[in-house]
Amino acid sequence: LTVGFSQVGSESGWRTTFSESVKAEAERRGIDLKFSDAQQKQENQIKAIRSFIAQGVDAIVVAPVVETGWKPVFMEAKRARIPIVIVDRNVDLKNDSLYVTRIAPDFTEEGKKAANWLMNATAGKCNIVELQGTVGSSAAIGRMEGFNSVIANYPEAKIVRSQTAEFTRAKGKEVMESILKAEGGGESICALWSHNDEMALGAIQAIKEAGLKPGKDIHVVSVDAVDDIFKALAAGEVSATVEMSPHMGGPAFDVIEEYLKTKKKFDKWIVMDGKVFTTENYQQEYKARFVNQ
C-alpha cells in the first residue's frame, strides 16, 4: 500500500511531532509513505498532490495549509480514483464527495473550551490580553471566534489588548513585554489567552521578567498541550491548555485501509476531541510523556 502524505511544513514542534507520528505509524503498518513537506505554501501542496497522482499512489492524506482552493486538484485525484483523507485543518468544499473524510480538531471548540475554563476560574470577571496566531490563519480565526463567542456572555470579561505574535515563542515574549509596559506593569491584567502554547511559553518569561508570577498573578490559557507546556504546568506557571493531539496518523490510515477494502461511506468529519489540562489534572499525562521515555 502506497500512501502520499502532504504535510503543511515544519513550522512548529507540534507539527514535527505530527509528521513523525504519521511516519512511525506508516512504518508500523508496513505502508509505503511518500512524505512531502510544503513549507507552508499551498502551491507546493497542490504540486505534491499532482505528483502523487502522477506516481499512482493508492491514497492521499492531506494536512491542508488553507481551507480553500482544493477543488481542481481533488477533482483530478477523483478522476484518477485515488481517495483523499484530510487531517488537521478544514477544507472548504461544497462537494464533499471529493474526499473520504476529515479527521480534525475543532478550532472554534478549542477557543470555547479555553474561554469556558477561564470564565469558570475567574467567575466571569477578567481583563484579558490576547496573543493571536498568524493573522489570517484558520487556527487563529477559529480560536478567536470560539473564545469571543463565550466571553460575550460575560459583561465583566473583556479583551483589553490583542496583538499577533505569529505563533512563535520569541514573538510571544517580545509582544507580551510591550503589552505589560503599556498596561502599567501588568497589575490590571487578569489573564493571558494565547492561541498556542509556544507564544504562551514566551509570554510567561516576559511576565516573570516584569516581576509578576504567571499562573498566579496572571492566568495563562493556551491551546496545543505540547511537552514544554507540561513542564510549565508542573511549575504552576500556566493555568490551562487545551489539548490538540498530533497523533492523527493512526485514524487516517484506519480510514484508508477500510475504505480501500469496503468503499464504505464515512462521516465527513471525525472530530479529534481534546482535553483541557490544568494545574489540577496534568499529572497523569505528564507522567505518560516524561517518565516513560
1-40 mask for another protein (x: CB under 8 A)?
A: ---x--x-xxxxx--xx-xx--x---------xxxxx-xx
Q: Compute how many other C-beta atoms are within 10 angstroms of the C-beta atom of residue 8.
A: 24
Q: Compute how many other C-beta atoms are within 10 angstroms of the C-beta atom of residue 67.
A: 15
- Least distance to another protein from the beta carbon of 175, Å? 6
- Please select the residue that binds another protein; options are 22, 31, 48, 100, rule is CB under 8 A: 48
Q: Which three cell numbers stand for residue 244?
A: 490538540
Residues 234-293 that bind another protein (CB under 8 A): none
SS3 state at 126: strand
The reply on whether position 66 binds another protein by CB under 8 A is yes
Contact region for another protein (CB under 8 A) — 49-57, 98-106, 120-128, 249-257? 49-57
- Least distance to another protein from the beta carbon of 249, Å? 15
Q: How many CA atoms lie within 13 A of 165 on its CB side?
A: 30
The answer to whether residues 167 and 133 touch, using CB atoms and an 8 Å cutoff, is: yes
Q: Compute how many other C-beta atoms are within 10 angstroms of the C-beta atom of residue 267.
A: 8
- Least distance to another protein from the beta carbon of 120, Å? 28
Residues 138-197 that bind another protein (CB under 8 A): 138, 141, 161-164, 166, 168-171, 173-175, 177-179, 181-182, 184
C-beta of 266 vs 285, nearer to another protein: 285
- Least distance to another protein from the beta carbon of 231, Å? 8
- Least distance to another protein from the beta carbon of 177, Å? 6
Q: Which CA distances in Å does 250 have to 223, 246, 257?
A: 22, 10, 11
Quote the radius of gyration of the chain (alpha carbons, Å). 20
- Please select the residue that binds another protein; options are 24, 29, 50, 276, rule is CB under 8 A: 50
- Name the one residue in this structure whose C-alpha cell is 512548529: 12
Contact region for another protein (CB under 8 A) — 62-70, 121-129, 233-241, 281-289? 62-70
- Name the one residue in this structure whose C-alpha cell is 462521516: 267
Q: Please state, in angstroms and rounded to a whole number, the distance separating the CA atoms of residues 212 and 286.
A: 25
Residues 69-88 that bind another protein (CB under 8 A): 69-72
C-beta of 184 vs 261, nearer to another protein: 184
The DSSP 8-state label assigned to residue 275 in this structure reads: P
The reply on whether position 116 binds another protein by CB under 8 A is no
Please give the angle made by the CA atoms of 51, 56 and 61, to the nearest 5 degrees.
70
Residues 200-229 that bind another protein (CB under 8 A): 201-202, 205, 209, 211, 228
